[in-house]
């Protein structure tokens, strides 16, 4: 993930609204000297797991839809993970590549107010009583996943993973090459910045779910960075690692939307990646402890989701 590391470092060096406070960072590392908090993957027990290829299909579909829950204040990641798990338990072929291409959204009504589409609706699959945030995009991305899996990987996400020779870097490259919805990048002060949140989290989810074995065995899992979402930046800010300009702090406090691709948004995400890389480096230098960015991410994320008062930035995006 050199391009993610290098381009986020560039943003951090040139940033105008978000800075990394090195003394804040050192303080956090100091508290981790004794023991580094370890959080189990699926500590909440919400994911589907059968130790086989269907789990890979489940995780790929999950990460294709793993973004932007906040516009519905009652919706969060757990609903998605549990909803998809239940759907799969009820019907093992729910995520077959041909079925993925048939999910619909209620967008067109006939004269009699009936939906013109006859296929199953995504919100029914998730048993969500109203429209999902960015629902049309979610349906489009499901179609994209089904279509490309069918075209290039015999309909199976497990084939995609098998073709990566136990390399998470190759997996991220392959996912972003084949599935445009996973190409999470931005332009920042004239530079292309790569963040690849959902592609990287897919590799990490495999690694976590399969406990580094089988479909989750990656020789280079240390290459993955943290996953730049809207929870971890807020946790890093609370811990004193990230500092915001007063305008940005006020915008987040007021729950104002921050446009996708704005300097502020790119800085929030890229500085989070850079800060976690620095945290990892400091842990190694000061305490001789080798930690993965994935492990730090899971700890920070779990802290964030257990803090209901956490104020995070709001950006409409399919990337996170
Ligand atoms: N950095 C980072 N971001 C993560 C995750 C996960 C889920 N990982 C699960 C997989 C195995 C573990 O046991 C975890 O349970 C979701 N997100 C992001 O959070 C946001 C949702 O927040 P809320 O609206 O409050 O649910 C949204 O952007 C979503 O994409 C993570 O691990 N790291």
**pLDDT digits 0-9 by tens, 21-66:** 999 999 999 998 888 788 999 888 999 999 999 999 999 999 999 9
135 in any annotated domain: yes
Residue 318's pLDDT is: 98
As a whole number, mean pLDDT of residues 290-304 equals 95
Is the complex ipTM more than 0.95? yes
User: How far apart are the CA of 69 and the centre of ligand 1, in A?
Assistant: 10
203-241 residue pLDDT tens? 999 999 999 999 999 999 999 999 999 999 999 999 999
Q: Answer with the residue of higher pLDDT: 69 or 117.
A: 69
Q: Where are the beta strands (DSSP E) in 30-112?
A: none
Residue 314 is assigned to a structural domain of this protein? no
Number of other CB atoms surrounding residue 17 within 10 Å: 21
Q: Is 30 part of any domain?
A: yes
Tell me if 317 is assigned to some domain.
no
Q: Is the CB of 301 under 6 A from ligand 1?
A: yes
Mean pLDDT over 295-313 rounds to: 95
β-pairing verdict for 191-194 and 242-244: unpaired
Looking at the structure of the chain, the number of domains it has is 1
- For residue 138, pLDDT over 70 is answered with yes
Ligand 1 atom showing the smallest separation from residue 305 Cα: 25
Instruction: Identify whether 312 is part of a domain.
Output: no
Range of the domain at 204: 2-305
The reported pLDDT for the residue numbered 35 is 81
Burial category of 36 from C-beta neighbours within 10 Å (exposed 0-12, middle 13-18, buried 19 and up): middle
Tell me the C-alpha distance between 313 and 254, whole Å: 10
In a domain, 261, yes or no: yes
**In angstroms, what is the span from residue 77 Cα to ligand 1's centroid?**
6
Determine the 3-state secondary structure of 306 from DSSP: coil
pLDDT over 80 at 120, yes or no? no
| Known active-site residue 229 | yes
Is residue 221 a contact partner of residue 164, using CB atoms and an 8 Å limit? Answer: no
Query: How many Å apart are CA 161 and CA 172, to the nearest integer?
Result: 10
Q: Does 229 sit in the ligand 1 pocket, CB within 6 Å? A: yes
How many helices (H) and strands (E) the chain has is answered by 14, 4
Q: Rounded to an integer, what distance in angstroms lies between the CA atom of residue 86 and that of residue 148?
A: 24
Q: Closest ligand 1 atom, CA of 39? A: 13
Residue 69 lies in a domain: yes
Distance from C-alpha of 5 to C-alpha of 222, rounded to nearest angstrom: 12
Q: What is the DSSP letter of 56?
A: H
**Residue 210: inside a domain:** yes
Q: CB of 297 closer than 6 A to ligand 1?
A: yes
- Which region, left, alpha or beta, applies to residue 37 given φ > 0 means left and ψ of -120 to 50 means alpha? beta
């Amino acid at each position: 993930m050199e391009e993610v590391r290098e381009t986020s470092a560039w943003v951090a060096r040139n940033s105008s609204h978000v800075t990394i406070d090195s003394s804040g960072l050192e303080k956090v590392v100091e508290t981790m000297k004794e023991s580094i908090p370890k959080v189990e993957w699926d500590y909440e027990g919400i994911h589907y797991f059968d130790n086989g290829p269907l789990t890979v299909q489940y995780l790929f579909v999950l990460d294709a839809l793993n973004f932007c829950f906040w516009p519905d204040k009652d919706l969060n990641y757990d609903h998605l993970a549990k909803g998809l798990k239940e759907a799969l338990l009820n019907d093992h072929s729910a995520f077959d590549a041909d079925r993925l291409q048939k999910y619909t959204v209620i967008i067109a009504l006939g004269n009699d107010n009936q939906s013109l589409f006859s296929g199953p609706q995504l919100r029914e699959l998730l048993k969500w009583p109203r429209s999902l945030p960015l629902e049309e995009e979610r349906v489009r991305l499901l179609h994209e996943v089904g279509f490309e899996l069918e075209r290039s990987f015999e309909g199976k996400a497990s084939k995609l993973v098998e073709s990566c020779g136990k390399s998470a870097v190759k997996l991220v490259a392959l996912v972003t090459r084949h599935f445009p919805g996973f190409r999470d990048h931005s332009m920042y002060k004239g530079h292309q910045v790569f963040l690849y949140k959902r592609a990287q989290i897919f590799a990490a989810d495999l690694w976590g779910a399969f406990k580094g074995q089988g479909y989750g065995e990656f020789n280079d899992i240390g290459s993955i960075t943290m996953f730049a979402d809207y929870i971890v930046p807020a946790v890093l800010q609370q811990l004193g690692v990230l500092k915001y300009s007063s305008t940005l702090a006020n915008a987040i406090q007021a729950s104002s939307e921050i446009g996708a691709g704005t300097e502020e948004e790119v800085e929030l995400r890229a500085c989070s990646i850079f800060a976690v890389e620095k945290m990892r480096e400091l842990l190694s230098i000061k305490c001789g402890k080798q930690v993965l960015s994935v492990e730090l991410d899971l700890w920070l994320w779990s802290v964030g989701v257990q803090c209901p008062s956490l104020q995070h930035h709001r950006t409409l995006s399919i990337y996170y």
